[in-house]
C-alpha cells in the first residue's frame, strides 16, 4: 500500500491530473468560442456553415459525408484557435524570457607545433608527435 501511496503523491501524477481537468475545462471554452462566436461569423460571411445534409447512398448504406465535413471544419477551427490564442503567445513568452545557454566547454586545444586540434589532456600531438605542455 505504501508503494501505491508514493505513486499517487509523486509530482508528475498530480500534475497530470490537474492538466487533464484544466484541459477539459479549456476544451469547453474553445468549443464554445468556436460554436457561439466563430461559426456565426462564418455564417454571416459565407452562408450557412452546416454541411450535415450532404449524404450519398450505396446499396442501402447511407454515407453521411456532411457530418464528416462538419467535424473536419470544427477540428481545423479549434486547432487554429488553440494555436493562435495559446501556443503562439506562450512560445513568444518563452523565447522572450529564455536564458541564453552557456557555451560548451572546449574539448580540444591547438598543438603548439603544427596547430592541429588535439584533446586537451593529450601530452603529445597525434599528428606531429611533439610533446605538449599542460
The secondary structure of 41-99 as a DSSP string is HHHHHHS----TT--EEETTEEE-HHHHHHHHHHHHHHHHHHIIIIIHHHHHHHHHHPP
| Predicted confidence (pLDDT) per residue in 13-67, tens digit | 777 777 888 888 887 887 787 777 776 777 777 666 666 677 888 998 888 887 7
Place of cell 591547438: 110
pLDDT at res. 8: 67
SS percent in the chain: helix, strand, coil, step 5: 55, 10, 30
- What global pTM score does this model have? 0.47
In three-state secondary structure terms, 118 is: strand
Assess whether pLDDT exceeds 80 at residue 96.
Answer: yes
Average pLDDT over residues 78-97: 84
Domains (range + CATH), the chain? 2-97 (1.10.1200.120), 104-134 (no CATH)
Amino acid at each position: 500500500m505504501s508503494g501505491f501511496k508514493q505513486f499517487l503523491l509523486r509530482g508528475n501524477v498530480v500534475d497530470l491530473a490537474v492538466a487533464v481537468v484544466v484541459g477539459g475545462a479549456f476544451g469547453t471554452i474553445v468549443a464554445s468560442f468556436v460554436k457561439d462566436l466563430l461559426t456565426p461569423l462564418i455564417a454571416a460571411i459565407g452562408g450557412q456553415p452546416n454541411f450535415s445534409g450532404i449524404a450519398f447512398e450505396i446499396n442501402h448504406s447511407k454515407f453521411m459525408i456532411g457530418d464528416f465535413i462538419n467535424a473536419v471544419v470544427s477540428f481545423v477551427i479549434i486547432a487554429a484557435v488553440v494555436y493562435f490564442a495559446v501556443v503562439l503567445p506562450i512560445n513568444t513568452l518563452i523565447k522572450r524570457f529564455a536564458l541564453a545557454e552557456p557555451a560548451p566547454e572546449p574539448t580540444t586545444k591547438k598543438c603548439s607545433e603544427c596547430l592541429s586540434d588535439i584533446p586537451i589532456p593529450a601530452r603529445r600531438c597525434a599528428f606531429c608527435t611533439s610533446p605538449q605542455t599542460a
